[in-house]
Amino acid sequence: MSSVADPKLLHTLIRKLESIASFSDEESTAIENLPVRVRALNARQDIVRDGDRASQSCLILEGWAYRYKIIDEGKRQIFSFHVAGDIPDLHSLHIPQMDHNLATVTAAVVGFIPHDDLHELTTRFPRIAAVLWRDTLVDAAIFRQWLMSMGRRNAFEHMAHLLCELYLRQEAVGLASEYRCPLPLNQLELADAMGLSNVHVNRTLQDLRGSGMITLSRSTLV
């Protein structure tokens, strides 16, 4: 259930980061030597909770995760979905108090990296700091896309955008190709991500299918 430091573990992360900027051997080694505590988790299981004070961040090694927040009487808003290579709560490195939850979508393997080690890494290697910083900025850019979709697009356009995003994100890390990708989300989760009701999501998906844009049955075809 729990082990330590296998260089291969961090390979996904390094590959993702190196697609932005290439590192020196010293830098790569430093990343590889990060201590990672690995855990296998079941589907739909919380990883970090709203209000927690985090002392480590979570690297997704396998499977999907998502971030969400609940307000009174069970209204849930989902903020993002994450696949292998993502560090969904990297922000807790500088803002330890969580203002939302992080949980698995599917069964997943995740690696926890202590903040102390990340702090040391980023102070020693500004280039690595910059790339991680950049990663959180991409996160923010995606939030802006979602805001755009929620505020000024109808359900049909919004869904189309979301599905494209999820495809492209997976394609970028080699988890999808040929316009086909896994989509382990149910309609309730899509609804909470888009600020819609599950019923309307269902109808919107039918529209998309009807217009020949997608096929779905636990995997997509755009």
Partner DNA sequence: CGCTAATTTGACCTGGATCAACTACGGTGG
Partner DNA sequence: CCACCGTAGTTGATCCAGGTCAAATTAGCG
Residues that bind DNA (CB under 7 A): 154-156, 186-188, 195-200, 202-203, 205-206, 217-218
Please tell me whether residue 140 binds a copy of itself under the rule CB under 8 A.
yes
CB-nearer residue toward DNA: 100 or 203 = 203
CA 4 from chain centre, in angstroms, equals 23
Exactly one of 26, 151, 210, 217 binds a copy of itself (CB under 8 A); which one? Answer: 151
Report the alpha-carbon distance of residue 84 to residue 103 in Å, rounded.
14
In angstroms, the CA 60 to CA 38 distance is: 10
Helix, strand, coil % over all residues of the chain, rounded to 5: 45, 25, 30
State the helix-helix crossing angle for 198-210 and 187-194, rounded to 10 degrees.
100
Rank residues 165 and 207 by Cβ distance to DNA and give the closer one: 207
* Residue 61 or 166 with smaller CB distance to a copy of itself: 166
Binder to a copy of itself among 25, 71, 212, 218 (CB under 8 A)?
71
Of 28 and 202, which has the nearer Cβ to DNA? 202
CA distances from 54 to 50, 63, 100, 106 (A): 10, 22, 12, 22
Q: Rounded CA gap, 211 and 179, in Å?
A: 16
152 binds, among DNA, a copy of itself, none (CB under 5 to 8 A by kind): a copy of itself
Question: What residues have CB less than 8 Å from 37, skipping those under 6 apart?
Answer: 2, 3, 4, 56, 111, 112, 113
Binding flag, residue 137, a copy of itself (CB under 8 A): yes
The DSSP symbol for 108 reads: E
Q: Is 136 in the site for a copy of itself (CB under 8 A)?
A: yes
Q: Residue 73 or 178: which CB sits closer to a copy of itself?
A: 73
Least Å distance, CB 140 to DNA, is 25
The residue ranges that bind a copy of itself (CB under 8 A) are 69, 71, 75-77, 79, 91, 94-95, 99-100, 122-123, 126-127, 129-130, 133-134, 136-141, 143-144, 146-148, 150-153, 192, 194-195
